A = this chain, B = another copy of it.
């Protein structure tokens, strides 16, 4: 175990911060900082030349290529390399965006050295690292996200129109939709017309997209 150190890359635009982290991690002799980069572009250049890199410590806000895009690049080009996000802020949108980009964990910069060490080793072993910060934000975000079911009052849509809207996101023709809803074909045409006025949408594809966007229909593929 001890003879093969975890190879780490450090990406942050503040040189002083990088030095600090480097000094901190030098205390742990199973960690090894292989290189540092001041932004994503630099990392894209350095990463291929220093393989293997096991863990990348990544800042989010950087000039040039930012943390989100850099993380995405890493996880599609070097899927074996784990990314641990380091940030000043506990913004839930930032956290979730980083995780979706492929980061395996998220740590605040005000954490203790021991926490950082634990995060690095965990993320190297399991591919991900979770702490209270991350899980709380995730759950909270899941729990909000719902409650957006008032939008259709905004547009004055009635029950029939909603049902029609749902069926628009379907391979059914209007004729079949009319049968399904138990109304005449012409009536369905009325629904389409009033909806495209109210929602300012040009055609059926637009209606389908709208229905999905507003979660009227589930495509059954929401991993999360």
Residues of A within 8 A of B (CB): 75-76, 79, 96, 99-100, 102, 104-105, 127-128, 130, 132, 134-136, 138-147, 149, 168-171, 173, 201-206, 208-209, 212-213, 219, 221-224
Contacts and interface: CB of A to CB of B under 8 A. Distances in A.
Contact of A224 (B138, B171, B209): B138
7 contacts: A76-B149, A99-B143, A100-B146, A102-B143, A134-B135, A134-B139, A145-B224
A118 to B, nearest CB: 14
A128 B96 CA distance: 18
Q: How many copies of this protein are present in the complex? A: 2
Contacts of A104: 139, 143
A121 to B, nearest CB: 16
* Top-5 shortest CB links A-B: A135-B135, A145-B223, A130-B135, A171-B206, A171-B202
Contacts of A219: 209, 212-213
Contacts of A149: 76
Nearest to A147: B79
Given A130-B135, A134-B135, A212-B219, A99 B205 contact: no
